[in-house]
């Protein structure tokens, strides 16, 4: 599907899941090379920047979120940036691009809020929208981390294991999706200065700045979540050690009592060796109780319990 927008002599063509005929039509209109035609027609996992005589070809990938706010994979977005035109190619619905298109449809609103004088600035505004959308998706984790921290110290360590793992998985998927952006934007800065002139360097650095904001939040969340996971694991380990120590103490307390019971319950034939009457039985019970109490006092003095 081809969507076309014009603004003060600038043209933006948005291709969503284009057919080969649509790609050939756009290629002929804007003078694209055969190599670019083939790369547009098929998705690629490789981000890159290529500088041609009449345009810059840029491929970037952005994370996809499903309805449950989980990162599903990444989506490819191709940009062909000429002096008077921009072509965007995508294979799925990308909300920031759709929102930018809605803004373009209202020229008066665009004049009030944006000062787009060339395609370089238009591309910068697109990228700002994309990174703002990514930052908004990270807000869910920003709001979740204090809740995780509170639950950890409220004694809900076991429940937090799964939540921390899922949150960490989302961060890793997000990081995987934008892992090449830093290098690609650095290459774009160099290419755009040659294509638009040195004065465009300011706008190119603004794009990199938007990425750095997102990446800084992402790295901060990753480091904080890692520390929370270590804390949670330590508390779980301490709780497990406490339970194990309690069972060990109980075992030591019961061991002599079990020994005494075992000795006096032996069947030696005739009368038992020591127990001759019911009073003897009570004496043994008292001895067992006294032994257990002595061991308890000993453990308390040693500060084992």
pLDDT tens for each residue of 12-71: 888 888 778 888 888 888 788 788 777 777 777 778 888 888 888 888 888 876 555 554
Portion of the chain with pLDDT greater than 70, in percent: 83
pLDDT tens for each residue of 105-119: 665 555 555 666 678
Strand pairing of 71-81 and 56-65?
antiparallel
Phi-psi region of 197 (alpha: psi -120 to 50; beta: other; left: phi over 0): left
- Interatomic CA distance for residues 117 and 10, integer angstroms: 8
pTM, full prediction:
0.68
Does residue 1 have a pLDDT over 80?
no
Does residue 269 have a pLDDT over 70?
no
Portion of the chain with pLDDT greater than 90, in percent: 0
pLDDT at 268: 45
CA atoms within 13 A on the CB side of 2: 15
- Interatomic CA distance for residues 7 and 34, integer angstroms: 28
Give one DSSP letter per residue of 249-288, joined into a string. Answer: HHHHHHHHHHHHHHHHT---SSS-SS--SHHHHHHHHHHH
Paired tokens of 6: 């014009």
- Could you give the domains of the chain? 2-237 (3.30.460.20), 242-301 (no CATH)
Smallest CA-to-CA distance from 50 within 178, 188, 208, 177 is with 188
């Amino acid at each position: 599907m081809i969507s076309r927008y014009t603004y003060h002599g600038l043209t933006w063509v948005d291709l969503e899941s284009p057919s080969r005929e649509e790609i050939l039509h756009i290629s002929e209109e804007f003078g694209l090379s055969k190599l670019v035609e083939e790369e547009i027609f098929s998705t690629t996992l490789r981000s890159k920047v290529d500088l041609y005589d009449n345009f810059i070809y840029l491929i970037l990938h952005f994370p996809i979120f499903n309805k449950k706010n989980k990162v599903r994979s990444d989506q490819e977005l191709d940009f062909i940036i000429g002096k008077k035109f921009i072509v965007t190619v995508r294979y799925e619905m990308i909300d920031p691009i759709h929102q930018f298109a809605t803004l373009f449809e209202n020229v008066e609103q665009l004049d009030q809020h944006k000062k787009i004088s060339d395609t370089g600035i238009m591309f910068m505004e697109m990228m700002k929208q994309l990174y703002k959308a990514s930052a908004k998706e990270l807000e869910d984790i920003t709001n979740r981390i204090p809740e995780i921290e509170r639950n950890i110290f409220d004694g809900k360590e076991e429940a937090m294991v799964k939540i921390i793992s899922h949150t960490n998985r989302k961060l890793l998927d997000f990081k995987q999706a934008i892992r090449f952006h830093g290098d690609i934007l650095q290459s774009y800065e160099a290419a755009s200065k040659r294509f638009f002139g040195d004065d465009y360097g300011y706008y190119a650095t603004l794009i990199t700045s938007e990425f750095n904001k997102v990446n800084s939040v992402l790295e901060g969340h990753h480091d904080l979540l890692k520390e929370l996971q270590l804390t949670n694991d330590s508390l779980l380990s301490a709780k497990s050690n406490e339970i194990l120590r309690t069972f060990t103490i109980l075992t030591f307390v019961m061991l002599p009592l079990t020994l005494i019971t075992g000795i006096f319950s032996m069947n030696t034939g005739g009368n038992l060796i020591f127990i001759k009457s019911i009073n003897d039985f009570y004496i043994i019970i008292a001895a067992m109780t006294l032994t257990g109490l002595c061991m308890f006092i000993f453990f308390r003095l040693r500060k084992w319990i």
